[in-house]
Amino acid sequence: MTDRSPVVEAGVEHRFGPYGGQYVPETLMPALAELEAAWVAVRDNPGYKAQLGGLLRDFAGRPTPLYLAERLSELAGREIWLKREDLMHTGSHKLNNALGQALLAKRMGKERVIAETGAGQHGVASATACALLNLECVVYMGAEDIRRQAPNVQRMRLLGAEVVSVEAGARTLKEAVSEAIRDWVCTVATTHYIIGSAVGPAPYPALVRDLQRVIGDEARRDLLERAARLPDRVIACVGGGSNSIGIFTPFVSDPGVTLIGVEAAGEGLDSGRHGAPLTVGGRSGVLHGSLSAVLQDADGQVTEAHSISAGLDYPGSGPEHAYLRDSGRARYVAVEDDDAVKAFREVTRLEGIIPALETSHALHYALHEHGDESTLDLVCLSGRGDKDLAEVIAHDG
Amino acid sequence: MGSGHPKTRSKSARDRVPAIRHTGADRIAAAFALRRGRAALMPYVMGGYPDLETSLAIGEAYADGGADLVELGVPYSDPLADGPVIHAAGSAALRAGVTLDGVLQVGEALSRRVPVVLMCYVNLVLARGAEAFAGRLAGAGISGLIVPDLPLHEAGEVRAACDAAAVALVPLVAPTTPDDRLTAIAAEARGFIYVVSVVGTTGERAALGDHVTGLLARVKERSELPVALGFGISTPDQAAAAAAAGADGVIVASRLIRAVSEADDAAAVAGELVAGLAAGLIR
């Protein structure tokens, strides 16, 4: 689009190539400006950094381990290193972002926090951060996701959050984000919206990336120290794309490192029932405030995604991923439900690690696809899979 | 923008249109000007809800009931600015297979009776391409376009396309919009300025807030264009209060869509409600 906003400062990019922007109701525009100003003011502020760093270390358990998975390496015929975000407090990488944004909300004087959640991991992370910081928390979650991720719903309620069931559309992540944005339109003076992925209007994609890049910073440092080399491939799953952008970012300027984002192929890319907008390509579109790869029909109506994993069941994608794809810096592929479940079982039996179904998509790719191009893979093990037991058992009948 | 038209228009095309071709902005301005002394009434109809034919009948009933302009909504999969009533109506229309082309046909028929302003989310505009979209609106005789998720800094390309097609791109302002931003929005406004009366989504409210008079005054200080108030206006008393607060136009949506969803004869009921609102503006 022409007439773009003038802000181009690194860290609060409004556009990644043609992607991104701020396609939201006018009511929210001042709040986005306020958020951007607040983030610029605190991100390099020693007090904020010390507070966040201290909580990430002592409360959340960072740095997370980097683990050489020997039995997976044997199976794959190359070294497989796992970045263990599943060992972080609350069981996934989502707490990196939720803690950073909840602290920001506190500094902005907001007393109420809203969040959306698909698999429930971001909802649990937000509820946890709000319990810690004494903030009111409301989490929007699709009714279908409430059904398939019941343990996380119970965790959120125990943590004091209100979980609002969203009945619109396919009753999954897309509708939960839309409902959270509608809440924010009505409550913007008192409320901060902790968006859970690297999506949404600027400055969210840059803000979430900056809070998640700790994954890649730690992994790159630890791998250099222990393996004395960089990986051939960095592999991570992509729903909206926060764990993937977090682990990719420190490797973007390492030309020898291939970056691979793994989307959900659902029942198969040809079936039309998938969550792989970056992989299938096509016309870009606006969803939830930014221009990026989107599943849509000829009119521009956003279509429903499908994935066995609630966190990848999303028809959109973060705008920076669309840019990394177009520029050729990252590659996007998709793995089907059945293969993800297979990897879920494989990794559980071989390594004694139960990975999230989302992560299992990335693990399947690392173990079984195009391995001859690599001698060392770094995989983001973005979350643990306890929440998925019922879904996996039901899937396998 | 003026009423001028590209001089490249062919002879044959010129023969098919009236000697003076009104631009969308002119037609909107005339609709407001005709109501000098009282506020213009702009009821909302969701295109294709409950079906295309009925939505056209509803729009025509609005015109019969005293509407000065009609706002025609396009159903959308993810309407972020809309509350539950309009969201549900749009979802029902999409489930029934309503397309953009179907809604534009309703707009084309309706615009023969009354100036039509299309309310459409940005992805539908971008999917077709801004130029093609604006050209299609002009071809259908639609006077204006409101895009609720296209704020000022993102609007350049769509505004240029609308200007070229002589369709007025109507901006929205909100109670949260600060003065400097209001000035910038007013400078790029076409047709009229849509003032959102509440910090919130579309939907009925018990009363109009006290802040509305000040908000309308802040907008009118910055623009010669008519200023229409919408979101949360549902009764004749509220419409009258909006006019008394300084609004040049009053937009009513959710109350009418709720009536449509509940009524057996939707067009008749909606027409009666609009007649009541029009009467409220006259007294």
Rounded Cα distance between A344 and B26, Å, is 64
| Residue among B94, B172, B196 minimizing CB distance to A301 | B94
Minimum distance, in Å, between the CA of residue A264 and any CA atom of chain B:
21
Which one of A116, A144, A175, A218 is the catalytic residue? A116
* pLDDT value at B2 more than 60: no
Residues 6+ apart with CB under 8 A from B161: B130, B131, B133, B134, B135
Tokens 């109670």 sit on residue: B175
The per-residue pLDDT for range A55-93, each reduced to its tens digit, is 999 999 999 999 999 999 999 999 999 999 999 999 999
Q: Judge whether A382 counts as a catalytic residue.
A: yes
Which candidate, A369, A349, A388, places its Cα nearest to that of A260? A369
Which one of B51, B71, B149, B248 is the catalytic residue? B71
Other beta carbons within 10 Å of A247: 30
* pLDDT value at B1 more than 50: no
User: Do the bridges between strand A19-20 and strand A15-16 make them parallel or antiparallel, or are there none, so unpaired?
Assistant: antiparallel
Domains of chain B, by residue range, sit at 24-282
**What secondary structure letter does DSSP report for A64?**
P
Kindly give the interhelix angle for A204-212 and A214-227, rounded to the nearest 10 degrees.
30
Torsion of CA A321, A325, A327, A329, to 10 degrees: 90
Beta bridge partners, A263, equal A334
CATH of B24-282, one of 3.20.20.70, 3.40.640.10, 3.40.1160.10, 3.30.1330.60: 3.20.20.70
**What secondary structure letter does DSSP report for A296?**
B
| Greatest C-alpha distance within chain A | 55
3-class DSSP state of A79: strand
pLDDT (0 to 100) of residue B8: 40
Rounded Cα distance between B196 and B181, Å, is 15
Roughly how many angstroms between the first and final C-alpha of chain A, as a whole number? 49
pLDDT (0 to 100) of residue B7: 39
Instruction: Show the tokens assigned to B265.
Output: 């004869």
Other beta carbons within 10 Å of B194: 27
3-class DSSP state of A309: coil
Q: Do B176 and A23 touch (CB under 8 A)?
A: no
Window A:185-244, CB contacts with B under 8 Å: 185-189
Residues in chain A: 397
**What secondary structure letter does DSSP report for B22?**
P
Minimum distance, in Å, between the CA of residue B65 and any CA atom of chain A:
31
Judge if the upstream peptide bond of residue A46 is cis by omega within 30 degrees of 0: no
Which residues in chain A touch residue B184, judged by CB atoms under 8 angstroms apart? none
3-class DSSP state of A218: helix
pLDDT band at residue A10 under the 50/70/90 scheme: low
Which candidate, A201, A166, A210, places its Cα nearest to that of A48? A210
Can you tell me the ipTM of this complex?
Answer: 0.93
Residues in chain B: 283
The per-residue pLDDT for range B218-259, each reduced to its tens digit, is 999 999 999 999 999 999 999 999 999 999 999 999 999 999
3-class DSSP state of A94: helix
Kindly give the interhelix angle for A46-58 and A94-107, rounded to the nearest 10 degrees.
140
The per-residue pLDDT for range B78-125, each reduced to its tens digit, is 999 999 999 999 999 999 999 999 999 999 999 999 999 999 999 999
Mean predicted confidence (pLDDT) in A19-23: 98
Q: Judge whether B71 counts as a catalytic residue.
A: yes
Instruction: Show the tokens assigned to A93.
Output: 């990488």
